[in-house]
Amino acid sequence: MTHSWTVAEQLRWVAARRPGATAIVDADGELTFAQFAQRVQALAGFLAPHAGSRVGLYLANRREWAEAFFACQLAGIGVVPVNDRYQDREVRHLVEDAGITLLVSDAAGHRGDVLAGLGGDVDVLLVGDRYEAALADAGPVRPYRNEESAVLYTSGTTALPKGVRLTQANQALGTFLGPAVLLGLTPADTVLISTPLGHRVGQVRLLGGLLTGGRTVLSADARPATLVEAVERHAVTVTGMVPTIARDLAFSGMPVGERLASLRVLSVTGEPMTGELRETVARMLPGTELWTFFASTETGMATALPPEEFTSRPGSSGRALPGVELAVADLETGARSSTGSGEVLVRSGPPGSYAVGAGYVGAAAASPFTDADGWFATGDIGTLDEDGWLAITGRSKDMILSGGFNIAAQEVEEVLRQHPGVRDVAVTGEPDERFGERVVAWVVRTPGDGDRLEGEELRTFTGTQMAAFKRPRVVRFVDELPRTATGKIAKWRLSAAEPGSGR
């Protein structure tokens, strides 16, 4: 597959036409398009020896994340975003599975401990003096064409995340289908990104702001007070958030409508929203265009629900975007249909050519990505009516969606089983007013020493091996786990089980 246009080339085009305009704003100040493009060019020169390989970005939202992303695109390097909350075990998996040859990182907080724990297993370019020296000493770079743009890791049902390969076409077309065409971004817009840049939606927002010539504000803090302050200070016109943050804003007690008056567009996506929350957000921001989407790492944006339908279709995720097809597969027979209920399927031409990614990498590369006809099975359950409106009603995969993050139950279970006080465990999700779902661990204690095991000890234990958002928020101790006739854990019975005393 050959694509003649890349996001790095588009950045050069924009920078040449808007050299003095502000491109990036973060906690360290501002960069014009000319300054940003020059730093990208210099970093690409430093990274040139890694052409054709993969570089990991283990950073929170800051200018160096954006610089390294575009430098890799220019130098022909695949970018592997590493969730900045990940701990040692999770980072090691990505380094090994993706074959990362260099990590661009900082040593803030737990990241310093993780980098020290890697013990030289991978080269590290630390943001700070070494990073700036690399920019100063870099030689010229000749653009290197690499069809791979990025590898994004997503939590499915397996114990460890799977890497999804995105092409240049995925990135370029996704940028303009969403931000430029649907949301109508222009050089007059200021885009605030407080959602993680390592997520596909974060990258769409980054590319949308920069490549349409607007000003992009990066924040590593998505808390309501910080978000509101950033919108006010920078006169932000476009931003996005998960429903958890929307709920927090709605009940914060702040005069949100007045303080967010500059917002032209707000997208609220990442997990299901109740009709009540949609109504609340609409009342809170009466002058703002409100959008929601159905999207995933593998499919990109598949549907859009426009502002005029935001509250009138409370259960809907919208209709398929141009160039995207939807279908549902019967849960018992697997038969595919253009209407009805079942597992949601998405197709957008050959994988990697438009919205749907190109396939899995690493250990998951042998796993089927799409079926023979190019349909990707999302694992989400929904209904598709005769007019093409999609409503998500549940999930078939053993996955928990909390605060916009996908969490594989099996991954949490495997970590918990490493504790000597745990004889058996099952992890489920249950409704949570703020986060949508919370992680619940159902634990059978090991006889003897395990009798004294408490929930907080297990929460602390998991926190040393995985990102905090994956830790069980509730631990319930039971005498045994319910099982089917074939010996499988019957998780659907756990919500009705009588919890023990430990929580």
pLDDT in tens for each of the 503 residues of the chain?
444 568 888 999 999 999 999 999 999 999 999 999 999 999 999 999 999 999 999 999 999 999 999 999 999 999 999 999 899 989 999 999 999 999 999 999 999 999 999 988 899 999 999 999 999 987 777 777 789 999 999 865 555 789 999 999 999 887 777 788 889 999 999 999 999 998 888 999 999 999 999 999 999 988 889 999 999 999 999 999 988 888 889 888 888 989 999 999 999 988 778 888 899 999 999 999 999 999 999 999 999 999 999 999 998 999 999 999 999 998 778 899 999 998 999 999 999 999 999 999 999 998 899 999 999 999 888 899 999 999 988 776 677 888 878 787 878 888 898 898 988 888 888 888 888 889 999 998 988 766 788 889 999 999 888 888 899 999 999 988 886 554 567 776 786 444 443 44
- In sequence order, the 6+-apart residues with CB closer than 8 A to the CB of 97 are 160, 163, 361, 362, 363
Alpha helices in 189-298 (DSSP H): 200-211, 224-234, 243-250, 256-259, 275-284
Question: Cα–Cα–Cα angle for 264, 268, 269, nearest 5°?
Answer: 140
HEC per residue, 381-427: EEEECCCCCEEEEEECCCEEEECCEEEEHHHHHHHHCCCCCEEEEEE
- Residue 336 pairs in a beta bridge with 329
Q: Which two tokens stand for residue 438?
A: 């919370």
Q: Which two tokens stand for residue 348?
A: 């957008």
For residues 192 and 227, give the distance between their C-alpha atoms in angstroms, rounded to a whole number: 9
Phi, psi at 109, each rounded to 5°: 55, -135
Count of C-beta atoms within a 10 Å radius of residue 21: 15
E-strand ranges in 269-374 read: 289-296, 300-305, 319-320, 325-329, 336-337, 340-347, 359-361
> Mind listing the pLDDT tens digit for each residue in 54-103?
999 999 999 999 999 999 999 999 999 999 989 998 999 999 999 999 99
Query: Which residues of the chain does CATH 3.30.300.30 include?
Result: 399-496
Could you give the count of Cα atoms lying within 13 Å of 350 in the half-sphere of its Cβ? 5
* Residue 342 φ/ψ region, left for φ over 0, alpha for ψ in the -120 to 50 degree band, beta for the rest: left
Contact 400, 428 (CB under 8 A): yes
Contact 80, 56 (CB under 8 A): yes
For residues 1 and 121, give the distance between their C-alpha atoms in angstroms, rounded to a whole number: 33
**With 0-12 CB in 10 A as exposed, 13-18 as middle and 19+ as buried, what is 111?**
buried
pTM of the model: 0.83
Contact 502, 455 (CB under 8 A): yes
Question: Cα–Cα–Cα angle for 98, 26, 230, nearest 5°?
Answer: 120
Query: Which residues of the chain does CATH 3.40.50.980 include?
Result: 1-15+29-146
Q: Which two tokens stand for residue 63?
A: 């200018």
**Sign (positive/negative) of CA torsion 457, 460, 462, 468?**
positive
> Mind listing the pLDDT tens digit for each residue in 418-446?
898 988 888 888 888 888 889 999 998 98
Is the domain spanning 1-15+29-146 CATH 3.40.50.980? The answer is yes
Is the domain spanning 399-496 CATH 3.30.300.30? The answer is yes
Best CA proximity match to 355, nearest among 205, 82, 172, 181: 172
For residues 82 and 68, give the distance between their C-alpha atoms in angstroms, rounded to a whole number: 13
* Identity at 263, one-letter amino acid code: L
Q: Which two tokens stand for residue 246?
A: 């929307």
For residues 8 and 66, give the distance between their C-alpha atoms in angstroms, rounded to a whole number: 11
Contact 78, 54 (CB under 8 A): yes
